[in-house]
Amino acid sequence: MRRGPAGAAWALTLLGVVAAWPREAAAYRPFDGTDATVVDKGELETELGPVGYLREGSDRALIAPAARVNYGFAERWEATLEGQATHGLAGSTRRSSLVGNAVSLKGVLREGRLQDKPGPSVATELALLLPGAGDEPGVGGSLAGIVSQRWKWVTLHLNAVAAVTRQQHGDVFVGAIVEGPQDWYVRPVAEMFHERDFGSATITSGLIGAIWQVRRNLSFDAALRHASVNDRTLDEVRAGLTFSFPVP
């Protein structure tokens, strides 16, 4: 709700860069949105982006790293801690910050195709947006609804998020993720979303990429993203991995 993740708004000079990073109330690499599933009880999952690259006009920035850790603390429920280090390379963002900090709870309300049962899977996620270091003062929150359905050749995830940003603005996010066949080792993926921060910005974004499912508990991802933030354009390169293992 990344996710990405959801609905945080930042200072206008940084908004185009930061808005490209994963959603704070909902995230599923390499997307800004998420799916209607959680990690198994007693399992720890890490979504890691070792390095990402952003360009908006004369501004350049690295995200190194971005991390999200999910723990299955109960059947159909997980707790998440996330954040990311950003490093401005040029333009108005030439500094380092720790941003996108959040804690969240995500639960599956209805088990469906993602849990090998009939019908759509339905989940919700509640997030507390925490202050950053070097940027993003204040506290906010978000509530996400997620519906997923899987067919033989395609999987669809629909996301809707309502949020109060750290600047106490209202924010709404709607998005859709499309994935290729789950039995392909490398499956193509795409995402579209629209977000309205009523205090500062409107964001329309598109992403294309691929996920390489090495095994059940290990995958690699890569994607290109293009977005319009108000009247500006933004481009991003994402790459990372997701891995999980049981914990005592």
The CATH number covering residue 104 comes to: 2.40.160.40
pLDDT digits (tens, 9 = 90+) for 29-81: 999 999 999 999 999 999 999 999 999 878 899 999 999 999 999 999 999 99
pLDDT digits (tens, 9 = 90+) for 186-220: 999 999 999 999 988 899 999 999 999 999 999 99
Closest CA to 210 of 173, 239, 236, 242: 239
Instruction: Report d(CA 182, CA 151) in Å as an integer.
Output: 9
Which three-class secondary structure state does DSSP give residue 113? helix
Query: Is residue 47 classed exposed, middle or buried when 0-12, 13-18 and 19+ CB atoms within 10 A define those classes?
Result: buried
Total number of domains in the chain: 1
For residue 192, is it within any domain?
Answer: yes
For residue 122, is it within any domain?
Answer: yes
Q: What residue numbers bound the domain in which 144 lies?
A: 12-246
For residue 1, is it within any domain?
Answer: no
For residue 2, is it within any domain?
Answer: no
Residue 63: φ, ψ to 5°: -110, 110
Instruction: Report d(CA 4, CA 94) in Å as an integer.
Output: 23
For residue 100, is it within any domain?
Answer: yes
For residue 76, is it within any domain?
Answer: yes
For residue 159, is it within any domain?
Answer: yes
pTM recorded for the entire structure:
0.88
